[in-house]
Chain A
Amino acid sequence: MVIVSQGLVPRGRGAARNIKQRGDLFEPLIEAAIRLCGWSAILFVAAIFLFVFFEAAPILGEIDLVQFFTSVEWRPEAARQPTFGILALICGTLSVTAFAMVLAVPLGLGAAVYVSEFCSGKLKETLKITIELLAAIPSVVWGFVGYMVLNPLIIALTGAPIGLNVLNGGLILALMSVPVIVSVGEDALKAVPDSYREAAVSLGASRWEIVYRVLFPAAKNGLLAAVLLGVGRAIGETMAVLMATGHAVQIPHSLLDPIRTLTATIAAELGETVEGGDHYRVLFLIGVVLFAAAFVVNFTADLIVKGIRGGQHD
């Protein structure tokens, strides 16, 4: 067979040599560039972690770590003896994240099921775009919504003394986590083969029964990964919770108590510390704690997602 097109494939006896020469220069260069891009992600993560860790390291010898994790007395600017206890801050982060997940998981999974199973065509496309838009809203705008709109609303509806609290922050975080859960959840549901659905229909299952009895168990790893990624998003969120939770150092006893998160503490206080001082280093230590938490959550989610990609047609 003769290849007719001009210029695409060099013809003649020198042809093979020409291709090989071009390949010699071009291919390895491109490969090296792509490899660098891939490795750079690891390099950046490692560099950031090392930076945060080395800024925090000097204080590890001086601080009582037990007191650090179990005391609520966050008084870095105390006149005589500053105390650095982050228990109230940890409770703040956990409470607002937990409440956000209570709201976001049913909402997100429900939306994922709806988009994946129950709607089609234009509505499906519109919904997907709108949910992505929800993710594109800057977090400071969410914080503003919480501060200006939800604050008076919560006071009016619940009679709380103040509307900047776990409820407010949790609502905002839920709305920010939903797009993450929907995207990954929808992928997980799409990955379930149609044969499962067809088999269920042939056995007489209703639409809800297909979702509840067949799809959820089949896609549970992917859905769990979606939830964990939503959790990772919520833990790391800073601006929105800074504005919407009231920024109060205390352990919450109800959803209507204002709290402060680890992230908001760093954001509010790092700029005013003296470089190299104790307060500065403790804030970086909080950064290490957050880094560790986010890493664990994302790593777990990643392992689980690999689990479903590795094939689980059992």
Chain B
Amino acid sequence: MSKSWTPAATVLLAVSLGGIVGCGGGGSDRITRVSRQNNSGTYAYFREALLGEDGKFKLGSVDQSGSKDVVELVSKTPSAIGYSGMGYATDDVKMLKISPKKGEPAIAPTVENAKSGAYPLSRPLYIYTLGEPTGAAKTLVDWIVSTEGQQIVEDEGFVPYADDLPEPPQAPAPAGTINIEGSDTMVQIAGAWAAAFMKNNPEVKIIVQGGGSGRGIASLINGTTDLAIASREMEADEKQTAAEKHGGREVQEFVVGKDALGVYVHKDNPLDEISIEELAGIYGDGGTIVNWSQLTPAGAESGSGE
């Protein structure tokens, strides 16, 4: 019996090594899709923008659980492409210009283009509450939509939701604790809001948690958070479930900023721009673009890549 172990073990070892060396991934021409976890508002928004309401992502993307993690992974992986909020850009990645259709001019993800809506992937950022906010939460929301709160949005690298902004509330906030939970895209903005607000209103305690827009909305429905921050709109059936669970209290929606969702690639990647169609071909279920060489360089007119 002991004699038959050796050939079996050798075969197993050879197969494993063959697995490593042999069909090893197609080299770095293969596009590595980096995505978010499936409850993320960013994930939901990107899917709808690329593939429509009933769209499905191709399975097998490397799913990260935070906006910052996506950018960090792309910065370390030359074959990667990923999407994340514009405020998370670093020097080790490049943001691609996006053209709505192949052949049309590509728009850069800047603050101006996000404000004007010219950038194809500009999206509003939301805060949701159960019923009209009261007490400290009401002062906080009023402050967030004012010039001061929106200045912080701009400082964090995102875009204020409008040009014409109300003045901040004058009266100090009543004492209280406010729970904010949700979008990972917005969690840094929310943290900055909390720090600034608590400095001016020491009677108020604000706790900020990330976890994804889906988590924030689920917590709002479960009643465990006061403010849900979300980078996608709350669905009609989610709003209904919330109202049913909490005695008919309607969910209130506040637009508190704008984001130009960036498509990130490694800084050494020669690609500079991409079209929505090509992104759908990369990320969508049934999409046929799997290698970088299938993407024609900027300015080329041949309609290949299919």
User: Is B65 within 8 A of A268, CB to CB?
Assistant: yes
Total contacting residues, chain A, CB less than 8 A: 47
- Report how far A79 CA is from B28 CA in the complex, Å: 33
B-side interface mostly: mixed
Interface size class for chain B?
A: 35 or more
Least distance between B179 CB and chain A CB atoms (Å): 15
Q: Tell me the nearest residue of chain A to B59, going by C-beta.
A: A249
Question: What is the minimal beta-carbon distance from A241 to any residue of chain B, in angstroms?
Answer: 13
Bits for B1-24, please: 1 = Cβ < 8 Å to A, else 0. 110000001001100100111111
- Contact segment of B124-132, B186-194, B211-219, B270-278: B211-219
With A99-B16, A271-B215, A272-B211: A249-B76 Cβ-Cβ less than 8 Å: no
Q: Which of B49-57, B142-150, B165-173, B257-265 contacts A (4 or more CB under 8 A)?
A: B49-57
Q: Please name the residue on chain B nearest to A102 by beta carbon.
A: B16
The A-contacting residues of B in range 217-240, CB under 8 angstroms, are: 218, 221-222
B106 cross-chain contacts in A, Cβ below 8 A: none
Check A249/B39 contact, CB under 8 A, given A77-B44, A99-B16, A167-B20.
no
Q: Does A55 reach chain B (CB closer than 8 Å)?
A: no
Chain B: CB-nearest residue to A276: B222
Query: A137–B59 Cα gap in the complex (Å)?
Result: 33
Instruction: Determine whether B30 belongs to the interface, using a CB cutoff of 8 Å to chain A.
Output: yes
Contact of A256 among B24, B77, B221 (CB under 8 A): B24
Nearest CB of chain A from residue B84's CB, rounded to whole Å: 16
Residues of A within 8 Å of B27, CB to CB, are 159, 161
Contact at A254–B55, with CB atoms within 8 Å?
A: no
Evaluate whether A159 and B62 lie within 8 angstroms (CB atoms) in the complex, with A75-B56, A216-B2 already known: no
- Shortest B217–chain A CB gap in Å is 9
With a cutoff of 8 Å between Cβ atoms, the chain A residues found around residue B22 in the complex are 254
* A216, B3: Cα distance in complex, Å: 13
**CA gap between A72 and B211 in the complex, in Å:** 25
A198 sits at the interface (CB 8 A): no
**Least CB distance, B280 to chain A, in whole angstroms:** 15
A120 to B96, CA, bound (A): 62
- The CA of A71 and the CA of B108, in the complex, are separated in Å by 40
Which residues of A pack against B, CB within 8 Å?
72-80, 88, 99, 102, 106, 151-152, 155, 158-164, 167, 212-213, 216-217, 246-250, 253-258, 260, 268-269, 271-275
| Other A-B pairs, 10, CB within 8 Å; known A161-B80, A162-B25, A269-B38 | A74-B59, A88-B59, A160-B28, A161-B26, A161-B30, A248-B61, A249-B59, A258-B62, A268-B37, A274-B222
Please name 26 pairs of A and B residues whose Cβ atoms are closer than 8 Å in the assembled complex, sorted by A.
A75-B59, A77-B38, A79-B54, A151-B76, A152-B76, A155-B28, A158-B21, A160-B24, A160-B28, A161-B25, A161-B26, A161-B28, A161-B30, A161-B31, A161-B80, A163-B77, A164-B62, A167-B20, A213-B2, A246-B62, A247-B62, A248-B63, A249-B60, A249-B61, A256-B24, A258-B62
